Chain A
Amino acid sequence: MRGTPTVLITVSPEVSNQMRPPRAIYPNGFKIGNSLGKPNMIDLQRQVLIDALTLLTQNTRPGSYKTIEYPQYGEFHEPPTVKKI
């Protein structure tokens, strides 16, 4: 099995990094449940999707994520952190 390339859109980079996704973008400050933005913000959703897909074509360090700013989102939510046990 060759495997299929993936790209993750994460709103919890510290949490999702525990599973070591090969590639990921983090739309900075998006809340959980808003991976691509808010409802009906079509242009924003489209841009997030384009940015995620474009990451497939770029040289990235496996396991890293790219933080991207989307001011049009209009809010900032602190991402959840991993609880130390």
Chain B
Amino acid sequence: MSEILLEVRKLITAFDTDNGLLRAVDQVSFDVAKGKTLGIVGESGCGKSVTAMSLVKLLPQPAGRILEGEVLFKGKDLVATSPEDMRKIRGNEIGVIFQEPMTALNPCHRIGKQLSECFLLHKGLNKKEAWEASIEMLKLVRIPAPEQRIGDYPHQLSGGMRQRIVIALALACRPDLIIADEPTTALDVTVQAQILDLIKEQQQKLGTSMILITHDLGVIAETCDEVVVMYGGRVVERAPVLEIFHNPRHAYTKGLLASMPHMDTPRKTMLPVIPGMVASLQNFVYGCRFCQRMKREGSMLRERPIYKEISPLHWVEACPHCTEGI
């Protein structure tokens, strides 16, 4: 087992709403090892993005806050870190790649200015050095003609190019950890393949760890070492990638894997489905939330299912209905 870079322990993040305090992330725990990629997968509203944004404390203010738990990054608890210190960590030691490359870049500034900012703020370079370092970064993410492109505004670039810039921004200060929230969802498959290869290559070169958030199980299978499956704000299963795909234990993980059409499923046949839909945050039960979706009212577990390790590194939320035989 390699060295642990980030440890998340029983993290609870809640939002103040008109319906009271709602827990979007409910006791989530996982580790990220050095140089490895952890995938977080789940459907919309499962809390995967809120988990990621809690780690770097970029929650919508003033509604969102971390209620409990620890986020240990290189041994330091980020939950207790002051906003000033967080600013020094973000962009420097932890890089973030957001989903929408258009909104993640400032439309009013040339990309060179936005890239140099990282170097000016975190690395103490002067303007000229920062500008040259920015050109280097553009070369690294394989933007053609970087000396010319560096003077462009974001709207002058295509979606794929913009996402490369966002990756360059995240990588600029050689962070130890990259958090990528749906980095390729807005892109075409061919561009997605380019971007994923680029991220992987840079990660291997620099030994960076990554948290990759996506709803695409194909992307998970191709890029991750370990996977966390989230449902209703909780981790229902967590295991190494091969184990998740070949030996899933939780009914939700099994359902997700089965409901995707594969290239070899017979055409025009009915796909297996997960009935019902995700309940809204305020209607979630305390007990097993997947049982709630499956409408097992009578026999549903009233207690919160226990999150336990069933075989080395394979954790599941143990419920008599959703995880048979555990």
* Chain A partners chain B: no
